[in-house]
Amino acid sequence: MAEIVKVAVDAMGGDNAPGEIVKGAVDAVNADKRVKVFLTGRESVIKEELKKYNYREEQMEIIHAEEVIETGEPPVMAIRKKKNSSIVKAMYLVRDGECDALVSAGSTGAVLVGGQVIVGRIKGVERPPLAPVIPHMNGVSLLLDCGANVDARPSQLLQFAKMGSVYMESVIGVKNPRVGLVNIGVEEEKGNALTKEAYPLLKNCPEIHFIGNVEARDIPLGGADVLVCEAFVGNVVLKMLEGVSGALIQKIKDGMMTSFRSKMGALLVKPALKRTLKDFSTDEYGGAPLLGLNGLVVKTHGSSRAIEIRNSILQCIAFKEQKINQKIKEQVVLED
């Protein structure tokens, strides 16, 4: 039988905690016997939530944590001071080897800082990138870095490309993923100092399948499987994707409500549209991994519901079984 994958879940983090988080954890253990979840947070509250569900008790454990780190708190300070918070407790479970992975919908800053400071980087990894899966016309791409540290070095972009390729191939299941450098033109000499220096590093790296520069316009068309950029650009790409989709879908809904005729039409197209737009959502892929750490740290959206928490937990199975960190170590060692 396969080894049990132990996942610490921050039960108190996110807009819908603890209700949706606990529900997601229950759904995950009910979906797969290979997972054991450690819910960190206020025991009494979590127990109350768990009472609502049926699940195999040997797959669920509560680790009491009195404090909660709020989204607005300065992360470095919060991580240092709130040793007894649900995020920090979950981080220690991973650092001490009691869990393989952790999932949190809480403060992004605290997850990024805690991941680096408590869980720690794999030796040789310069900067652990936050790598959300984003939708495109015919599938998904991995976008990295979307973290909090801007102004990456060219060598860091190369590491992002390698770690992203491993993840995309082994966890998401895209064979020989195409790596693209997010840039303002397709020609090699286009861009800023960072992209100009990173281009030859990517081109000359035999471990990845580099296809050159990718313009932002081609990202929603699936221009590359692994999109490499520094975090300021990654943030703009990610938030434009969310913002434009949201605004346009709202516009279309409003447009359909403008006349009797269009309202009738809306009723008829609704089921088909819902299916189509579901393709343009990434909920089923779970949260964004912070790659290159001694363990898997997954950050899910602050507004995550049970489905996203469930899938983020289940994603940890592939991460462990596919030995992602072993592969990342090999890639990083290769370059030394």
Q: Which residues pair with 99 in a beta bridge?
A: none
CB 236 within 8 A of CB 143: no
User: Which of 44, 54, 204, 268 is in the footprint of a second copy by CB under 8 A?
Assistant: 268
CB 166 within 8 A of CB 173: no
User: Which of 76, 240, 333, 334 is in the footprint of a second copy by CB under 8 A?
Assistant: 240
Q: Name, in order, each residue with C-beta under 8 angstroms of 231's C-beta and a sequence gap of 6 or more.
A: 129, 130, 145, 146, 147, 148, 149, 150, 152
CB of 70 to a second copy, least distance (A): 15
Q: Name which of 1 and 272 has its Cβ closer to a second copy.
A: 272
Does position 1 bind a second copy by CB under 8 A?
no
Does position 201 bind a second copy by CB under 8 A?
no
User: Which of 120, 232, 307, 321 is in the footprint of a second copy by CB under 8 A?
Assistant: 232
Dist CA 293 CA 290 (whole Å): 7
Does position 181 bind a second copy by CB under 8 A?
no
CB of 318 to a second copy, least distance (A): 27
Does position 77 bind a second copy by CB under 8 A?
no
Does position 219 bind a second copy by CB under 8 A?
yes
User: Which of 23, 89, 136, 301 is in the footprint of a second copy by CB under 8 A?
Assistant: 136
The per-residue b/e assignment along 230-239, b for 16 or more CB within 10 angstroms, e otherwise, is bbebbbebbe
Dist CA 48 CA 19 (whole Å): 10
- Within the chain, where are the H helices? 19-31, 43-50, 75-81, 86-95, 108-114, 154-167, 193-203, 231-256, 260-279, 306-321, 324-335
Does position 142 bind a second copy by CB under 8 A?
no
Does position 144 bind a second copy by CB under 8 A?
no
CB of 219 to a second copy, least distance (A): 6
Q: Name, in order, each residue with C-beta under 8 angstroms of 251's C-beta and a sequence gap of 6 or more.
A: none
Q: Name which of 161 and 219 has its Cβ closer to a second copy.
A: 219
CB of 133 to a second copy, least distance (A): 16
CB 25 within 8 A of CB 60: yes
User: Which of 236, 284, 307, 322 is in the footprint of a second copy by CB under 8 A?
Assistant: 236
Dist CA 198 CA 288 (whole Å): 24
Q: Which residues bind a second copy (CB under 8 A)?
A: 136-137, 150-151, 182, 184, 191-193, 215-221, 231-233, 235-252, 254-256, 258-259, 261-262, 264-273, 275-277, 279-280
